[in-house]
Chains A and B, each alone.
Chain A
Amino acid sequence: MPTAKDLQALGDREVVELAKAGKEAAYRELLRRYERPVFSLIFRMVRDRALAEDLSQETFIKVLNALESYRPEYKFSSWIFKIANNAAIDQLRRRDLDTLSLDGAPDARTADEVEATALQATDHAESPLQELESRETGTAIERAIARLRPEYRTCILLRHVEGRSYEEIAEVMDLPLGTVKTYIHRARIELREYLADLRT
């Protein structure tokens, strides 16, 4: 029975194998390894601590309950980041749909229906952008990252904050390698511009 220290010395694949054999310590080791990277990625995508925590929790539950379907030819980190990123992107899309309801649901036909559906969003005191900005952590670079397109944001966070390779990012995002490189290049240009604006 490997101890927590033994597990720390093992690679992800070996830990996953032990987890598949029902070792609770192996599950906790995977959680220990990825709770910060996954939470950081999701938080910087959705900019809301409680929501990021919920989404991270859902990500881990999904991953740990589906370990049997994990294919060892892929990196475990790619798999978990992919699920985390999808959860964050889905959330951002839902948020976008919420902003549409400010003007009434798209399928609202009568004036009454438009008014009724538009009222759903009037609880928000701020516009989504204002809300987003008010929840920022404060530093200039965090503000600049928050303004990037979600795809650029994922790429730049995985590359320069989590230190993942271009190939792994391509795997996480289901994108060609060239596209990932382009996204990162463009994201860096945008970040540069935001920071330059702040300086002037």
Chain B
Amino acid sequence: MDKQLDHSELDALVLRELSSLPGLAPSRGFQDRVMARVVLPRPAAVVLLQRAGAWAIQPRRAVALATAYASCVVLTVLLAAPWVAAHASVAGLGASWLVAQAGHWLDAAAMSVAAWTVRSGLVSALRSAAGNGVRPWFLLATIAVGYAASGYGMHLLLKAPRRSDALADTL
């Protein structure tokens, strides 16, 4: 009976001790060390493009591709030239139509920008500012701030990839 009691006591002790064992943690920076060696999946199109880029960037292949591209252009021009010469009037009509269309779109765009500046009150604001005697240095400062903001925006857009991405690319 006494031995039985000892057993159950010991069993309870074992379970108690086991459940009280602490969870052990690896050293600091463990997550970063693991993440540095994990390759994050990328969209298939990006992978394909990168592979194609890596393939084409090798000097011999790059020369071959450039030659092939140039040959295609020259061949197309050579093939198209006799047809263009034979149908000069049609080609001339087409070209003038394209130029007219482009001019029309440019004109429409310029008109809408002008209309917007008038409607938005920008023009009247500038006029009243000039009437109130706003100093030129204030305008210059505004323009400079605008340039700086644009520059910062470009910097954000074109900044280097993050460290983890850069590492993933090297793997």
By a beta-carbon cutoff of 8 Å, the part of chain A in contact with chain B is 20-22, 24, 27-28, 31-32, 35-37, 39-40, 43-44, 52-53, 56-57, 60-61, 64-65, 67-68, 139-142, 156, 160-161, 188, 191-192, 195-196
Asked whether A22 and B23 contact (CB < 8 A) given A161-B18, A192-B11, the answer is no
By a beta-carbon cutoff of 8 Å, the part of chain B in contact with chain A is 6-7, 10-11, 13-15, 17-19, 21, 23-27, 30-31, 33-35, 37-43, 164
Beta-carbon contact of B18 and A27 below 8 Å: no
Instruction: Tell me the complex Cα distance, A40–B18, Å.
Output: 13
Which residues of chain A have C-beta atoms less than 8 A from B24's C-beta?
Answer: 36, 39-40, 43-44
Which residues of chain A have C-beta atoms less than 8 A from B38's C-beta?
Answer: 27, 60-61, 64-65
Task: Quote the shortest CB–CB distance from B162 to chain A (angstroms).
Answer: 9
A-B contact list, 15 entries, CB within 8 Å: A22-B40, A22-B41, A28-B35, A36-B24, A39-B26, A52-B26, A57-B26, A57-B34, A61-B37, A68-B41, A161-B18, A188-B14, A188-B15, A192-B11, A195-B13
Task: Quote the shortest CB–CB distance from A87 to chain B (angstroms).
Answer: 14
Task: Quote the shortest CB–CB distance from A112 to chain B (angstroms).
Answer: 42
Asked whether A36 and B23 contact (CB < 8 A) given A64-B38, A141-B18, the answer is yes
Instruction: Tell me the complex Cα distance, A105–B97, Å.
Output: 89
Instruction: Tell me the complex Cα distance, A156–B14, Å.
Output: 11
Instruction: Tell me the complex Cα distance, A36–B11, Å.
Output: 26
Task: Quote the shortest CB–CB distance from A105 to chain B (angstroms).
Answer: 33
Instruction: Tell me the complex Cα distance, A68–B39, Å.
Output: 12
Instruction: Tell me the complex Cα distance, A26–B23, Å.
Output: 22
Which residues of chain B have C-beta atoms less than 8 A from A161's C-beta?
Answer: 18-19, 21
Which residues of chain A have C-beta atoms less than 8 A from B31's C-beta?
Answer: 28, 31-32, 35
Beta-carbon contact of B11 and A140 below 8 Å: no
Task: Quote the shortest CB–CB distance from B79 to chain A (angstroms).
Answer: 45
Instruction: Tell me the complex Cα distance, A115–B63, Å.
Output: 61
Task: Quote the shortest CB–CB distance from B81 to chain A (angstroms).
Answer: 49
Beta-carbon contact of B41 and A196 below 8 Å: no
Which residues of chain A have C-beta atoms less than 8 A from B164's C-beta?
Answer: 24
Instruction: Tell me the complex Cα distance, A60–B21, Å.
Output: 23
Which residues of chain A have C-beta atoms less than 8 A from B14's C-beta?
Answer: 141, 188, 191-192, 195
Selected from A43, A44, A53, A191, the residue in CB contact (under 8 A) with B30 is A53
Beta-carbon contact of A36 and B25 below 8 Å: yes
Task: Quote the shortest CB–CB distance from A37 to chain B (angstroms).
Answer: 7
Which residues of chain A have C-beta atoms less than 8 A from B34's C-beta?
Answer: 31, 57, 60-61, 64
Beta-carbon contact of B23 and A196 below 8 Å: no
Task: Quote the shortest CB–CB distance from A185 to chain B (angstroms).
Answer: 11
Which residues of chain A have C-beta atoms less than 8 A from B39's C-beta?
Answer: 65
Beta-carbon contact of B21 and A141 below 8 Å: yes
